[in-house]
Amino acid sequence: MKETDHPPGPGWLARWVPAASWLPRYQRGWLAGDAIAGFTIWGLLIPEMIAYASLAGLPPQAGLYTLLASLAVYAIFGTSRHLVVAGTSASAVLVFSAVTALGPKDAASYATLAAGMIVLTGLIFVVAGLLKLGFITAFLSRPVMEGFVFGLAIFVTVSQLPKLFGLNKGPGDTVRQFSYLLGHLGSTSLTTLAVGLVALVLLFALERYLPRLPGGLIVLAAAIAISAGLGLSSHASRWSARSRPGCPACRGRT
């Protein structure tokens, strides 16, 4: 080895693992403020991740696993002190549409295909990052992005409305699902609707009058506690079975 040759040092490591550059200089005095920031983000993102898991057709815990993994991985390999990396409604909808098009036979097959798609997408992003292909996003015009976001908002709204009314989701695309919802409003579960409306009012009220509190997490925890205490989940299951198309209980009524 030549005298000018040196083994890779901290600088080389920090290039690939940015946490190696700031972690040795971390001060204990920063821990309190970072803990508050971390719990704030945690309180805001947990309800969102549960909702996004539902949009992706996955169980709620999948959203929690995604949140834990994304936050931890970005803390080690990320370079921004302000960026938060987590699931989004757009990615959830794309997972749902792509995996559904493959025709999975059951929930286990669906989860396997979704996991494979997510891993493959991550690998593509890693390769794109190494090749510095971020400039490709400049070719996406603003009208295209605005149209995508607007369409996404309509899709998410229509897909979540059946849960608000205690109905099963209709078949087909967004237009057919909305038509199905309108045609079955007579089978609305009043209990489910009441709980949903109260939750929405609380969400907006907390955001308006107590913005420093994690409104989404508070409403989620309260809804789970009330549902478990009053047995609302079993009531919703019975009502869902009654409102299912073709069931004996709803013949002549839908």
Q: Which range is least confidently modeled, 28-37, 65-74, 77-86, 191-200?
A: 77-86
Q: What is the mean pLDDT of residues 193-212?
A: 90
- pLDDT > 50? residue 8: no
Query: Distance (Å, rounded) from C-alpha 133 to C-alpha 56?
Result: 27
Among residues 191, 152, 184, the alpha carbon closest in space to that of 168 is found at 184
Query: Distance (Å, rounded) from C-alpha 95 to C-alpha 100?
Result: 8
Whole-number percent of the chain with pLDDT over 70: 87
Mean pLDDT for the chain?
82
Contacts of 249 (CB under 8 A, 6+ apart): 241, 242
Going by pLDDT thresholds of 50, 70 and 90, the confidence category of residue 10 is low
Query: Distance (Å, rounded) from C-alpha 244 to C-alpha 171?
Result: 12
Whole-number pLDDT of residue 148? 86
- Taking the whole predicted model, whether its pTM rises above 0.85 is answered as no
